[in-house]
Structure 1
C-alpha cells in the first residue's frame, strides 16, 4: 500500500534545487522512506520518537514533514488520495455535497479565555471541533472554534 501511495505523492513533490543546478546538497535520506515513516506515525498515532528502527532519524523526517506542510503539500496529498478513493467508487473526484458536524471539548485552564466559549446545549466551557466530510465519509475540512460557535456559523466562516 505504501508504494501505491508513494506513486501518487512523488509527482507532487517539488524538484530539489540541486537537481536544477541551483546549489544545495542532495537529501541524505530517501524521501520515500521519510514518507513511509510519516504515514506510519500519523496513521497509527505513534509518537515521532517511537517509530520502529530502520527508518531515517526522526528529526530529519520531521523537518521534511514540516517543509511539506508549510508548502501546503500535505493538503494536496490528502486531496489527491481522496480523489482516487472517490474515483474507485465511481464518483466524481470533487464532492458536490458535504456534511458538517462538531464536537465540543472542555478546555483546560491554560487555554486562553478568548479561544474558549460556552456550549449551552452540552454545558461545556471550551472549544469545538467542526468536521466536514463528503457523502462517503472522507474528510474535506476541519476547523477549531470556541464552543459557542454553531455549525452553520463555522461553515460560513470557512
Structure 2
C-alpha cells in the first residue's frame, strides 16, 4: 500500500531457480537440471509485480517448469483469489496455458525473448522474478540447499522473504515520496 497499490495483488510473475544441494540432501529429493548443469533442487516461485513472494514450491532439479507449475498455480489460486494474470518464461508454454485458463480462470501470458536478442537483455515483467531470486540468494542459508525435506526449504524461503519485507516496512520513508 505504501507503493500506492492495492493491498491484494491482481497479477504475478512465475519463474524457477536451480540451486545446488549439499551432500546431506537425500538423493530421492534431488536431481540434475541439464539446462543449467546444476545438481540439486529447483525453487518454483510466484511473485507479485513488486517482487514479493506469494507462493514457493521446492522440487528436485530435474522436474520441469511446466510439471511443477500446475500445482504451484493451483496453490496460488487458492491463496490469492484476486490474481487473474500471471507472466511466465518460455518454459511454461504448451497445454499449461489452456489448462490455467479453463481450470483456474487464470491468464498465463508467456514473455519470450526474440531470436535477434544477443547477450543479456532485460525482459519485461520477468526481471521482477529474477530480482526476487537475487534477494533470496543474499540469505546465506539459501545460496545452497542444505535441507533434508523440500518443505523445510520452502519454509526457509518464505522466512527469508518475511525478513526482507519487515526490513522494508521498518525503513524510514524517503523525503518527498508520498
TM-score range, shorter chain: 0.3 to 0.5
Q: Give 1 or 2: higher strand fraction.
A: 2
- RCO greater where, 1 or 2, for CA within 8 Å and sep 6 or more? 2
TM-score (norm 2): 0.37
Q: Give 1 or 2: higher helix fraction.
A: 1
Max Rg structure: 1
TM-score (norm 1): 0.41
